[in-house]
Structure 1
C-alpha cells in the first residue's frame, strides 16, 4: 500500500510541474472582408389561397346538372351547374302575362284620363268623374310598373338557375349532388368552393418578441411537410396588429405572399417560415469580438504588435460609432469606424477602415500540451485507474 501511495504522489508532482511551464501568448486577428449578414425570425403558419369564393345559388330548386367536380380547373364565366328550370320558366311566363294585362289596363285608363281631362277643361264633366278617371289612371300605371318589376325578377331568377364560375381557379369543394334540393332563404345556398391556386399566401403566427423586427417587403422562405426537400419563396405583404393569445402566448399574424405556378401549394398545409429581417450582401464585415478588444503590454511575449502605453476609454458620439484596433506597421492603432447592421456575430463596416485591413480580436493564451508522467505509459498503469474490461486484477 505504501508503494502505491508513493507512485500516486510522484504522478501529481509531475503534472504540476508540466502546468507551471510558461504559456505562449499570440494575437488573434481578422481581416475586413466582403461578405453578407442575415438575421431571421422563425414561425409557423397555414397555407391559404389569396382568392377563395363560395359559389352558390339565389333561387330554390332541384340540382339538375353538375358540370364540374373536385379538382376541376375552371375559368371565369364557365358553366358549373344548372337548377331544374320548369317552375322558374312558369314564373316567367306568369310574369309576362301579368305585365301584359297590366299594360292593357294602363293604356285603357290612360286614354280615358286624357279624354276626360279635355272634357273637364271645358266643364263638360263633373270634378268627381274627372278625379275618378285620374285615380284609375294612376293605379293602373303603378300596377304596370310593378308587373314589369316582377317580370325582371322572374327573368333574373331563371338566369340564376345556371351557375357560372366568378373567377379562374380550381374546385376544392363540392357541396351538392344531382337531384338535391337547394333552398335559398336568408343565406345563399353554397354549391362549390373555388380557389385561385396561382396566388397563395401563408398566414404565419409570429411571437410577440419577434414581431417588432418584421416589416413589409422582407424576404421569406418556407417549407411544407408535403414537400420536405423543397424550399418555397415569399414576401411579407401584411403585418396584422390584432393579437392572438393562447396558453398565455401572444402571437401576431403575418401574411406572406407566395407565387404557386406549379400548384404544389394547396390550402391547409402547415408551413415552417423563415423571415429574413436582416439581409445584406456584398458588404464589409468584421467580427463583433473586435469591439471588445483592449490592448495589453506583455514584455516577455515575442512577435506581438506594440501596444500603446495608455489606453483611454472610448466614448461614442453616436450609437453606430465603434472603436477597433488595427494592426499597422507592427503596432496597434485605434480607429473609430461607423457600423451598420449586425447579426450578433459580425457587423457591417460602413466607413473608417477598408477591405483587407487587419483588426485585433483577442489575445490567445496558448497553454503547452501536458504529457503523461513518466512511468505512466503503456507499460504500467496507475493503481488507482480502473482495469480494462476482461483483465484480471493483480
Structure 2
C-alpha cells in the first residue's frame, strides 16, 4: 500500500471517531433531558397502612399515695413521756401498749379520791344508824301521843329529827355519787397515761421522743400515726379542664417512679368538690383505692395517674394527623381521609371514627386493612413500595 492510501485511511478514521463522539454526547444530553423531565413531572405520595392494636383515651394527672385507713395517736393527759414501746415500721395489734406517760400525779389523785369516798361511805353508815334511831323515836312518840302519854311538842320534835336524818342521808348519798364520778374521771386520766393502739396496723411515724414533756391542756398532741397499709388510696389532682370527664366508678391505673412500668388498677371512689389552687392552677382531688397485700406501695409515693375515659381492643388505627376531622361538630364521629385508588391517585373517603388519644384514632368504618392512606403529596423521584403498618413511605403516581 502506498503512503497516499495510508494517509487517506487515517483521515477517514479520524472523521469517524469525531462522528461517534458527537453521537455519544448527543445521546447523553438527550438521556439527561429525559430523566430530568421525568423527575420534574412525577408526583410522590407519603402513604400509611392501617394497623390493628389496642387504644385508650386517657386523662392524665399526678398524685400521691396515702393509707386508706389511719389514725393519729395522741395523748389525752399532760406529763413526761416516760417510755415508747414501738418503733417506726413496727406492726401492732389493737390493744398493744404503745407508750407511757408519767402517772405519779394521776395515781396520787386517784388514791386521794378513793380515800375521800371511803370516808363518805362510812359517814353514810353512821347517818343510816341515826335514821334508824330517829324512826324508832318517832314511832314511840306517835304511840305515846295516841295514849295522851306525851306532849305534842315531843312528838313534833321526833318527827323533825326523822326528817333531818333522811335529808342528811340524801345529801351524803349525793356527795358520794359526786365523789364516785370524780374517781371515774381520775381513774380514766390514770389509764390515759398508758397509750394503747386503737387498731391493727403499722407505725408509720412517731412525732414525740422519750423524755419529752407532753402538754394536752389546749389540744391533743400527736405522738405517732398508725396506718393499715393493706389498702392504699391515691389522691390524684385533676385539672379543671379535665375534671368533667372523670366520673365515680371509672377505671383508673397508675405507675410509680420505682415501679419499672408496673400498673396498679382501681376505680374512682370520690371527687372532692373543693378545689386546690396551686400557682393559679385549679385542681380537684380525685380518690381511688388499690390493694397492697405485698406492701410494695408506701405512703407519700409519687404516682402518674391515667383515667381511662374510653378504650378499644384490636381496632384499626391511624395516626391522628392523617384524619380530617369534622370541624363544624366537635362531637361528630364522621371524618375523612385520602386513599390511594386503583389508578394510583388519591381520593377522598368518608370514615367513622371511634376512640382517640390525639396520637392515634380508631377507624370504625370506611377503611379496610389493605387500604393505603395518603398522608401527603410532593414532587420528587422514588420507586413505589408498600409501607409497614402505621409507617409512612413513598409511592410514585402514575
Q: Please state which band the TM-score falls in when normalised by the shorter chain.
A: 0.5 to 0.7
CA distance in 2, matches of 1:357, 1:168: 57
| 2:12 alignment counterpart | none
Match of 2:179 among 135, 147, 151: 147
Match of 2:37 among 14, 17, 27: 17
Match of 1:68 among 71, 83, 86: 86
Instruction: Say whether the 8 Å CA contact 2:58–2:357 is kept in structure 1.
Output: no
Instruction: Say whether the 8 Å CA contact 2:44–2:382 is kept in structure 1.
Output: no
Instruction: Say whether the 8 Å CA contact 1:326–1:358 is kept in structure 2.
Output: no
Query: 1:23: Cα distance to partner?
Result: 3.4
Match of 1:104 among 108, 116, 122: 122
SS in 2 for 1:197: strand
Query: 1:104: Cα distance to partner?
Result: 2.7
Q: How big is each residue's C-alpha offset from its partner over 1:200-238, in whole Å with a ceiling of 9 and x where there is no partner?
A: 2222221111212222232212223xx162534142322
Q: Map 1:209-224; keep pairs closer than 5 Å.
A: 209-216=241-248, 217-224=250-257
Structure 2 CA distance for partners of 1:92 and 1:230, relative to 1, 3 Å: farther
CA distance in 1, matches of 2:166, 2:357: 88
| 1:84 alignment counterpart | 102
Bigger helix fraction: 2
Matched, 1:177 2:209: yes
Q: How big is each residue's C-alpha offset from its partner over 1:54-104, in whole Å with a ceiling of 9 and x where there is no partner?
A: 212212333332211222222222111222333333222222222222223
Q: Map 1:200-279; keep pairs closer than 5 Å.
A: 200-216=232-248, 217-224=250-257, 227=258, 229-235=260-266, 236-279=268-311
Structure 2 CA distance for partners of 1:340 and 1:20, relative to 1, 3 Å: closer
Instruction: Say whether the 8 Å CA contact 1:28–1:364 is kept in structure 2.
Output: no
Instruction: Say whether the 8 Å CA contact 2:252–2:305 is kept in structure 1.
Output: no
| 1:138 alignment counterpart | 170
Query: 1:369: Cα distance to partner?
Result: 0.4
Instruction: Say whether the 8 Å CA contact 1:325–1:359 is kept in structure 2.
Output: no
Q: Map 1:115-130; keep pairs closer than 5 Å.
A: 116=134, 122=142, 124-126=155-157, 128-130=160-162
* Aligned residue pair count: 329
Query: 1:135: Cα distance to partner?
Result: 2.9
Normalising by structure 2, we get a TM-score of: 0.66
Matched, 1:40 2:63: no
CA distance in 2, matches of 1:357, 1:327: 13
Match of 1:369 among 381, 384, 391: 381
SS in 2 for 1:140: helix
Instruction: Say whether the 8 Å CA contact 2:338–2:375 is kept in structure 1.
Output: no
CA distance in 1, matches of 2:156, 2:363: 102
Unaligned runs of 5+ in 2: 1-31, 146-154, 384-398
| 1:343 alignment counterpart | 357
Q: Map 1:151-170; keep pairs closer than 5 Å.
A: 151-170=183-202
CA distance in 2, matches of 1:70, 1:323: 61
Structure 2 CA distance for partners of 1:43 and 1:14, relative to 1, 3 Å: farther
CA distance in 2, matches of 1:26, 1:273: 36
Q: Map 1:311-322; keep pairs closer than 5 Å.
A: 319=332
Instruction: Say whether the 8 Å CA contact 1:201–1:258 is kept in structure 2.
Output: yes
Normalising by structure 1, we get a TM-score of: 0.67
* RMSD (Å), alpha carbons: 4.3
Unaligned runs of 5+ in 1: 1-11, 294-314, 372-394
